[in-house]
Amino acid sequence: MEDVLAPDGRGLKHVAVREYVRSLVTGSAPGSPAPSERELVHQFGVARMTVRQAMDALVVEGLLERIPGRGTFVARPRRAASRITGYTEEMSRRGLLAESQTLLARREQAGPGVARALSLTEGDAVIHWRRLRRADGTPMCLEDAYLNEVLLPGFLQSGMPTSLYDALDGRGLRPTWAEDSITADRATPEEATLLEVDEGASVLRHSRRALAGDKVVEVSRTVYRADRFTLWVQLGHDV
Amino acid sequence: MEDVLAPDGRGLKHVAVREYVRSLVTGSAPGSPAPSERELVHQFGVARMTVRQAMDALVVEGLLERIPGRGTFVARPRRAASRITGYTEEMSRRGLLAESQTLLARREQAGPGVARALSLTEGDAVIHWRRLRRADGTPMCLEDAYLNEVLLPGFLQSGMPTSLYDALDGRGLRPTWAEDSITADRATPEEATLLEVDEGASVLRHSRRALAGDKVVEVSRTVYRADRFTLWVQLGHDV
DNA sequence: TAGTGGTCTAGACCACTAT
DNA sequence: TAGTGGTCTAGACCACTAG
């Protein structure tokens, strides 16, 4: 039989099968059976290899699980390391209202440390954004973020967003990789005043270098009130 | 042509092709070309679909990258969240000598918190292992680990290992998933004495719930000297 | 124009599971 | 025994890239 291709003219029958199966099984309980390969062959009038290509994708995705001799079934959802989140999303996840007060937002020349972290040259233009961040009205942390101005043209002029990560997302720069370091320390006098704690109170210092693909999009240093904040991290993944 | 199968009698030609290609490209620089599919068809005398099955596996693995119209090439290695490590491996990675002094290793009945964290019932038998851990001779942290005795029969009797994670590894219980929480605090008098710091010194408190598959294999609470230890975490992954 | 990967066919035999 | 997924064949046409 010649290759007439699908009615839509694009040779993507396996996509049609894949999305059909996906629509069938999303929402099904793990262990529910998916249609058998030969059943789909008859339904779609395609070759079995085409159906297998469709199912393979769903298996790789972790949606389906094949059991030889028995059939194909909805898989137990895989665990995966949590996506990289910023303060706003993290507080929202905890059921707290995130508010931020910008203390400083300006163009600066990168110092040696920031330049290295942002993969820039010393003296390059960076955006320095300092915020006092609250949760349900109480100071939670003080954050100094440094951004590569080249990646964010007009960022300072366009009015600062509430969520940096949402703003990055909108520019296709959502971080997919982050290198964090965390240590315990005591609040400096300035930090204590802003965070409304006693001088020398316990704080958690959190540094992040966040990348979107190859591009370093954010370097930040945040100091959290230890009496109000515990950092949660999930590590690893299934299979 | 009938299905004579490979010389070894097992119908796994795609494995032979896959491992041949893997051996060719491991060590090659990203961007190096892999053999073309039709080239492998001739070399192995197999059908193209068989070659594609082999290559598909390597693409999913992240070793190869297909570029339509150009060929198949060695992919840039994907970043992936670091594997879950214990103290011994972490110190070794930092070039420090890890030593441990067992302060306590005994069978206990799980209290409510430990029982819940280990997915056990209160009163079930657990192993409680407390260690003072040093790096290059200086106290670094104090760790209380709780283990499910049912998963580790004879663990206490077989002599305590240096590395818990190596011991778990040997029993097929290497953690693949961990839920950590981190906070800053001050050392209690007892902690200060053991860690050889002043009472009230800054410490990092790190709790972990580590799983191997569905099984909770370790629940631990560790207190680190903040003057000696910074926690490093990598998050996210490519694609 | 030659070569590449992308898609697809219409079968086949195998080992395994469930009835 | 019937049904399932696992493997495999020997072709085919397509869009795309590169020389």
Residue A1 scores a pLDDT above 70: no
Residue A181 scores a pLDDT above 80: yes
Which residue stretches of chain A are H helix? 13-25, 37-44, 48-61, 87-93, 112-117, 164-170, 189-195
Q: Which residue in A179, A198, A233, A238 has the most chain B C-beta atoms within 10 A of its own C-beta, making it the best mutation to test that interface?
A: A233
A12 interface with B at CB cutoff 8 Å: no
Residue A125 scores a pLDDT above 50: yes
Contact A218, A168 (CB under 8 A): yes
Looking at the complex, report in whole angstroms how far the Cα of residue A53 sits from the nearest Cα belonging to chain B.
Answer: 10
- Please tell me the distance from the alpha carbon of residue A95 to that of residue B25, in angstroms, as a whole number: 49
Nucleotide nearest to A47 (CA to C1'): C9
**Contact criterion met (CB < 8 Å) for B82 and A235:** yes
Interface size A-B, in CB pairs within 8 Å, comes to: 117
Q: What is the mean pLDDT of residues A124-140?
A: 97
Among candidates A31, A29, A14, A26, which has minimal Cα distance to A72?
A31
- Please tell me the distance from the alpha carbon of residue B198 to that of residue B192, in angstroms, as a whole number: 6
**Contact criterion met (CB < 8 Å) for B183 and A229:** yes
The pTM of the full predicted model, rounded to 2 decimals, is 0.85
Strands laid side by side in the A215-225 sheet: A98-109, A125-135, A138-148, A215-225, A202-212, A177-186, B231-236
pLDDT given for residue A3 in this prediction:
32
Among candidates B82, B81, B85, which has minimal Cα distance to B208?
B85
- C-alpha distances (whole Å) from B114 to each of B108, B111, B163, B165 are 11, 6, 21, 19
Instruction: Show the tokens assigned to A59.
Output: 């298996």
B125 interface with A at CB cutoff 8 Å: no
Per-residue pLDDT of B129-161, as tens digits, reads 999 999 999 999 999 999 999 999 989 998 888
What domains appear along chain B, each with residue ranges and CATH number? 10-74 (1.10.10.10), 87-225 (3.40.1410.10)
B203 interface with A at CB cutoff 8 Å: yes
Per-residue pLDDT of B5-25, as tens digits, reads 333 344 689 999 999 999 999
Contact A201, A225 (CB under 8 A): yes
Nucleotide C15, nearest residue via CA and C1':
A69
pLDDT given for residue B2 in this prediction:
31
Q: What is the mean pLDDT of residues A74-96?
A: 90
Contact B139, B91 (CB under 8 A): no
Asked which of A106-115, A124-133, B77-86, B91-100 is least confident by mean pLDDT, the reply is: B77-86
pLDDT given for residue A2 in this prediction:
31
Residue B190 scores a pLDDT above 60: yes
- Please tell me the distance from the alpha carbon of residue B126 to that of residue A134, in angstroms, as a whole number: 41
- Please tell me the distance from the alpha carbon of residue B40 to that of residue B50, in angstroms, as a whole number: 10
**Contact criterion met (CB < 8 Å) for A236 and B60:** no
Question: Residue A33 gets which letter from DSSP?
Answer: B
pLDDT given for residue A11 in this prediction:
62
Residue A9 scores a pLDDT above 50: no
- C-alpha distances (whole Å) from A168 to each of A130, A147, B81, B201 are 17, 10, 21, 39
Residue A15 scores a pLDDT above 50: yes
Residue B1 scores a pLDDT above 90: no
Task: List B223's β-bridge partners, or say none.
Answer: B142, B205
